[in-house]
Chains A and B, each alone.
Chain A
Amino acid sequence: MRAAFVETLAELAERDPRVVLLTGDLGFNMLEPLAERFPDRFVNVGVAEQNMVGVATGLAEAGMIPFVYSIATFATMRPYEFIRNGPVLHQLPVRIVGVGGGFEYGNNGATHYGLEDIGILRLQRGLTVVVPADDSHARAAFTQTYALPRPVYYRLSKGGPAIPGPATDFVLGKLTRLRAGRDLALVALGPTATDALAAADLLGAEGIDAAVAVVESFNPSPGDDLADFLADVPFAVSIESHFVDGGLGSFVAEVIAERGLPTRLRRCGLDDLPRGITGSVPFLKEWFGLSPRAIAGTGASLLAFARR
């Protein structure tokens, strides 16, 4: 997805002289083509994320469209107040690009995990949050949103498979339905859609008919779509590589509660910072209950519990 970002940004920079890229000294073997092609609009600001967002605010006030790039947690947590008081308060088109949300930085450990980014940025209603599900959605997301007159946060995966099945596309503020089902709704955040689909297959083998949909944006958020999706399904599981509070799980709970839906919800995700547990992404998915097997288990136990 990083490669999709670099390629799309090069296309955007080619046709729009307002596009500027700032990096917080990250992007080795990734951003070099942009640096070489647009030397006047590529700035490595050094390891200083707060200043990077502040500089981007000054650039945007003068009419530029700056993209700031770092690891998801560094791009969002360190400069959070700069994001709020800068582009959000001033309604300026700064783009924050956070790579490796969730625990994609595996063995790097907790300091490198982005487990709050969606929650803290979703709080800022004046900022659009985009979590593309795969590379092709990422390309569509950049093209659809790069010129929005307000700030955008893009949470990008380092890599990851294409969503299996029929071709779908990213549409800002919309829910993308990936599979129909009557018994249980799996609501996935961005790239966890792949695991949700695999979980649905496992559940199908047990005779549980699971629907799958993916949320890829907040502010605008797909509240109406989600309410429709949940209307005919008694149970729902939210799936996110993020804390269960603040992000997708909270959003689904808000939709259910505020619209008075009868849906019973369980939230898959992390409930605290991991301390002393690092590993590969597949290992961590299993550990944190986000593997297809674990998601299917959560879904099946929800049904079994409710039917008891």
Chain B
Amino acid sequence: MTPLPLGRRIRLHILEQSHRARFGHIGSALSIADIVAVLFDGVLRGAGADRERFILSKGHAVLALYAALYETGRIDRRTLDSYCTDGTPLGAHPEHVLGPIDFSTGSLGHGLSYGAGSALAARMLGSARRTFVLISDAELNEGTVWEAAMFAAHHRLGSLVAIVDVNGQQALGPTKQVLDLEPLVPRWEAFGWTAREVDGHDVAALRTALDSIDGTSARPHVLLARTTAGSGVSFMEDRVEWRYLPLSDEQYASAAAEVTRPEAR
């Protein structure tokens, strides 16, 4: 039997851990499963001080990151299984005290500024490393994202790559109803970024888009990844309640079966 693709293994961990911990944010974590899979499967390079930085600015989707860290051997099974238990650093938002995580996040609107500083530091230190920041579309409501966007463009931080998880959902409803920021591509372009849309669940397209980024260019880069909240689990897709709900045993069994089914995406 061929092993499941990384994105589906990440989904299975998300379901398993959130079911065990009875903790929400499942839909948001599933939405970035394929993006995180591609980043951790060959995009992020380097080690030590020159390692490429990854900042999960939408920290509430951290379960996808923990799963990727486990699947790529950066944390062990026991650590993964401590998710949301008493005394663990693996809470519902990333903590930098966990070795492979560089930045603690959770309050939206911080990550792109951290990333801009990180990219500026790389330039000052003569390092070619890139910085990747994964932000949510709802996070674009925060004015600080645009402060950072202006700054990065003005300073020509071409090694900075923002990936926006455009799943169209936010805490109380569809982004289009809460605070519509479309059209996103011209908006980012107007801020001086190279912007392109990509299917956030098409692993090959994501890989091509990320591989083609020129870290030495004069403009920072944004990938507007069109995704589906709850992606891979049909009863969760595009349903806002899966931002909050834990899984019952039956729902877990059904969801796990779906993401491990051979014909599943």
Known interface pairs A45-B151, A86-B114; A55-B120 also in contact (CB < 8 Å): yes
User: Which residues of chain B are within 8 angstroms of A63 by Cβ–Cβ distance?
Assistant: 49, 121, 125
Is the CB of B64 closer than 8 A to any CB of chain A? no
The CA of A85 and the CA of B55, in the complex, are separated in Å by 14
Our pick among B102, B103, B105, B150 for the contact of A48 (Cβ within 8 Å) is B150
Known interface pairs A43-B155, A81-B107; A58-B116 also in contact (CB < 8 Å): yes
Q: Which 5 A-B pairs have the closest CB atoms?
A: A58-B117, A54-B113, A62-B121, A51-B147, A55-B117
Is the CB of A238 closer than 8 A to any CB of chain B? no
Say yes or no: A59 contacts B120, CB within 8 Å. Answer: yes
- A-contacting residues, B84-106, CB 8 Å: 96, 102-106
Known interface pairs A59-B120, A62-B121, A63-B121; A90-B113 also in contact (CB < 8 Å): no
The CA of A64 and the CA of B144, in the complex, are separated in Å by 22
User: Which residues of chain B are within 8 angstroms of A89 by Cβ–Cβ distance?
Assistant: 96, 104
Say yes or no: A57 contacts B113, CB within 8 Å. Answer: yes
Say yes or no: B124 contacts A40, CB within 8 Å. Answer: yes
Say yes or no: A85 contacts B107, CB within 8 Å. Answer: yes
Our pick among B96, B106, B113, B122 for the contact of A51 (Cβ within 8 Å) is B113
User: Which residues of chain A are within 8 angstroms of B116 by Cβ–Cβ distance?
Assistant: 51, 54-55, 58
User: Which residues of chain A are within 8 angstroms of B49 by Cβ–Cβ distance?
Assistant: 62-63
Is the CB of A153 closer than 8 A to any CB of chain B? no
| A70 shortest CB reach to chain B, Å | 14
| A41 shortest CB reach to chain B, Å | 7
User: Which residues of chain B are within 8 angstroms of A66 by Cβ–Cβ distance?
Assistant: 117
Say yes or no: A59 contacts B148, CB within 8 Å. Answer: no
Our pick among B114, B118, B150 for the contact of A46 (Cβ within 8 Å) is B150
Is the CB of A221 closer than 8 A to any CB of chain B? no
User: Which residues of chain B are within 8 angstroms of A57 by Cβ–Cβ distance?
Assistant: 103, 113-114, 117
Say yes or no: B155 contacts A51, CB within 8 Å. Answer: no
User: Which residues of chain A are within 8 angstroms of B155 by Cβ–Cβ distance?
Assistant: 43
User: Which residues of chain A are within 8 angstroms of B147 by Cβ–Cβ distance?
Assistant: 48, 50-51
Say yes or no: A58 contacts B144, CB within 8 Å. Answer: no
Say yes or no: B124 contacts A20, CB within 8 Å. Answer: yes
Say yes or no: A54 contacts B124, CB within 8 Å. Answer: no
| A149 shortest CB reach to chain B, Å | 15
Is the CB of B61 closer than 8 A to any CB of chain A? no
| Residues of A bordering B, CB below 8 Å | 20, 40-41, 43, 45-46, 48, 50-51, 53-64, 66, 81-82, 85-86, 89-90
Say yes or no: A51 contacts B148, CB within 8 Å. Answer: yes
The CA of A41 and the CA of B105, in the complex, are separated in Å by 27
Say yes or no: A58 contacts B150, CB within 8 Å. Answer: no
User: Which residues of chain A are within 8 angstroms of B115 by Cβ–Cβ distance?
Assistant: 58
Our pick among B110, B143, B154 for the contact of A54 (Cβ within 8 Å) is B110
Known interface pairs A20-B124, A40-B124, A85-B107; A61-B148 also in contact (CB < 8 Å): no
Our pick among A41, A46, A59 for the contact of B151 (Cβ within 8 Å) is A46
Some 25 contacts from A to B, beta carbons below 8 A apart, are: A40-B124, A43-B155, A48-B150, A50-B109, A50-B147, A51-B116, A51-B147, A54-B116, A55-B113, A55-B151, A56-B117, A57-B103, A57-B113, A58-B119, A58-B120, A59-B117, A60-B117, A61-B121, A62-B121, A63-B121, A81-B110, A82-B113, A85-B106, A85-B107, A89-B104
The size bracket of the interface on B is: 20 to 34
Say yes or no: A54 contacts B144, CB within 8 Å. Answer: yes
Say yes or no: B120 contacts A85, CB within 8 Å. Answer: no
User: Which residues of chain B are within 8 angstroms of A58 by Cβ–Cβ distance?
Assistant: 113-121, 131
User: Which residues of chain B are within 8 angstroms of A60 by Cβ–Cβ distance?
Assistant: 117
The CA of A66 and the CA of B112, in the complex, are separated in Å by 17
| A180 shortest CB reach to chain B, Å | 47
| B110 shortest CB reach to chain A, Å | 6
Our pick among A20, A48, A55, A62 for the contact of B122 (Cβ within 8 Å) is A62
Say yes or no: A43 contacts B113, CB within 8 Å. Answer: no
Residue of A nearest to B129 (CB): A62
Residue of A nearest to B144 (CB): A50
| B171 shortest CB reach to chain A, Å | 18
| B121 shortest CB reach to chain A, Å | 3
Residue of A nearest to B154 (CB): A46
User: Which residues of chain B are within 8 angstroms of A62 by Cβ–Cβ distance?
Assistant: 49, 117-118, 121-122, 125
Q: Could you list 11 further interchain pairs (A-B, Cβ under 8 angstroms) beyond the known A58-B121, A62-B49, A86-B110?
A: A43-B155, A51-B148, A51-B151, A54-B114, A54-B116, A58-B116, A61-B102, A61-B114, A61-B118, A66-B117, A81-B107
Residue of B nearest to A90 (CB): B96
Known interface pairs A46-B151, A51-B113, A51-B144; A85-B118 also in contact (CB < 8 Å): no
The CA of A54 and the CA of B104, in the complex, are separated in Å by 12
| B36 shortest CB reach to chain A, Å | 20
| A266 shortest CB reach to chain B, Å | 39
| A267 shortest CB reach to chain B, Å | 33
User: Which residues of chain B are within 8 angstroms of A51 by Cβ–Cβ distance?
Assistant: 113, 116, 144, 147-148, 151
Chain B positions 149 through 185: 1 when the CB is less than 8 Å from some CB of chain A, otherwise 0: 0110011000000000000000000000000000000
